[in-house]
Chain A
Amino acid sequence: MSAVPYRRTFARLLSFLRPYKRGLVISIVLAIGSQAAQIALIWVTGRGVIDQALVDRDTTQLWLYVGAIAGLGLASSVMMLGRRLISGKQALDVEMDMRQGIYSHLVRLSFGFYDRHQTGQLMSRATVDLQGVRFFLGYGLIFFFQNILTVASVTVVLFFFEWRLALVVLAVTPFIVGIAYRYSHVAHPTLRDVQQKLADVATVSEENIVGVHVVKAFAQEPAEEEKFRGRNEALFAQTIRANRQRATYVPLLSFVPLLAQAAVLLVGARMVAHGTLTVGSFVSFNLYLALLVMPLRSLGMWIGQAQRATASGERIFQVLDEPEEIADKPAAGELPPGDGEIRFENVSFSYLQGRPVLEDVDLALDAGTTLALIGHTGSGKTTLASLVPRFYDVDTGRVLVDGVDVRDVTLASLRREIGVIPQDPFLFSTTVRENISFGRAEMTDAEIERVARLAQAHEFVERLPQGYDTVIGERGITLSGGQRQRIAIARALAVDPRILILDDATASVDATTEAQIRAGLREVMSGRTTLIVAHRLSTIALADEIVVVDDGRIAARGTHDELFEKSFVYREIYDHGLLERQFADAVEARGDVEEVA
């Protein structure tokens, strides 16, 4: 990373503190106050207690000074307490702001972004990187400032006490900071690698345990042990490397300040002996020195921290700077009322430039009709359907809903009129009720039950331990593919959409249920325009018309009988596979039925 963007990222990180200027200023004032009290306290110890009270053998003075020390200690502690409360709260607020900032941006990023990025990657930005930044912004900066303050003020005081001794001390400070920085610098990649190796070991054992059938079936236990041994030894070697670094640097960091102390002891005591330094000053000087060591060490650490926080910040900003590809136009209005007519005009689309997925597609769907899209995997049928709710924008051409270009209306008004039943019916780990009313939170229980009945979900939901209040995924309550699909159908129906988009599930649903779903679908499709991305014969049967998509183009359109006559692709798909799956389903279905009975 070059210096300029580095500095810019750093400055941008600091901008997160802007709303908290007042708290920041108060924290700094309190930190200074607390520090001043500490310095004064040591001053009183040397110049007051030792040089005056003890030398004069004056009990009253002694108690006065001791009282002052306790008072200063109390004052310092109280200010420290205030500082910690204020800056601690502020650190949490900054963290909250950043987290919320990332989230609200993620919510606005388009499908294309989520196609390009894996959940794990994004999670690591929003958790690991955020953690690094928040520690630095929240606590690091304050500590950093406090350390600098301590070092600076104590150094000044040292010079004030005895400049020659102070020079001795000053000579070792760069070493302490340097060594601490160096350690933080070398240790970090090593420790990160330790983490990586730990993860490797975990992966091997996890897979071994989960895949135990395979391991045993192929009698590969010895080979697995060998594989594990390799990873385990690699981890050991890496931890030893980290350990050696720790052994090299940490004891050294205790030793170097000791040298300064020895020098001060030698020179200072000589000066005391010659009467050029008071005993009290000598004592104070030593106590100041002890005050200096920790901040000097931390300074080195924090410099390393700041670098890493900036690198983390960089990665977070990459997400925050990701443009909203699909957003409302400034003048976008609501989608006007209509019956749900869909038209694709000369639509071309590609996920990656130069690799068209759809080319020159012209397709019109009358309101209230049902159209099945079929084709091989990768033919573009799912993509075509995703253009209607504007999950992606076309490259050229237009997509019209009730005569209006989908790009000219607000996303919210468009998507509210479209019910989507995705191929993988993603449900959230909350109650069945909330999953169904996902798109329309204000639904009544009666309404929820009505759509669940339509989707053939009511019966099995009733049989769940807490009915509609059962939390999906909790305490081992998992739903079968067919059940999840039915909830997804209910969820889509709940918004009472003009247009339904159904991406046929690949999960196996038994034949009885499938018949039920089909009956339900037939009912819910009436009066709506429906686009089915079909993988099964039975779903095709629901459609008024079928469109064969092949290699990004419309290859044929017609009814089943027409297509069977004229489309080779259709015949191929029809002849193959679909029937046989149903046999397996029938066999499984018998099992389900009997288990329930």
Chain B
Amino acid sequence: MNILERFTDGWRKYRKPGYYREFDYHWAMTIDLDACTGCEACVTACKAENNLPIVGEKEFAKGREVQWIRIERYWEGEYPDVKLRFIPMLCQHCDAAPCETVCPVAATYHNQDGLNVQIYNRCIGTRSCAVYCPYEVRYFNYTDHHWDSPLDQQLNPDVTVREKGVMEKCTFCIQRIRQAKDHAKDDGRRRVRDGEVQPACVQTCPANALVFGDRKDPQSQVAKSMNDPRAYRVLEELNTDSSVVYLKKVDAKG
């Protein structure tokens, strides 16, 4: 294509209303709170898969933990009628993400797969995305990290190790998504089938509380799960259009 064609084609594409909502795949996740036991296997799996830093006990106590998925705990009532509600919280990959607009160097953006992507080597560490995120799912590297041997041999070669001063967060295991897409392309240029790619947390959950897939595919498990009557989004009133849908836990009292 010559330069004029490239310019006009691109222009035409960007002038169509809703162009930014035409995703190639639209990855989404549902979390069934009825099934979730709060065992934190997903937290561990995520840490193993994505080379999450071990910050140490002191730093964790100071609040500098890096847990791309965390289990939030809310206590209700007084002893002996204490009840604990917990909810796994991870990056919601909002289609109308507050964090994307505020980064001054465009280190975070929405890609064509519907994912909110963080570019580590562009990040200069203003931390404004963490301020703007209502779900508190963005984690900053306050220091350089190291892994005591032999944990350094456990690092995933498909994922970088972030240096101090950059922001990081859940990526829906984009390295696995990329691998699945590559595999599908090699396998006769087909689309990725439902169940072929699962982030580490989804793969590990013993209760199968997490379901992941392409919600553009109406036959996928996640699309059906999102239509469950129990489905809701956290902080829906903020209109962030999140891609993570929670299925409300049904109490015994009804």
A and B: interacting chains: no
Residue numbers of B with Cβ under 8 A of A are none
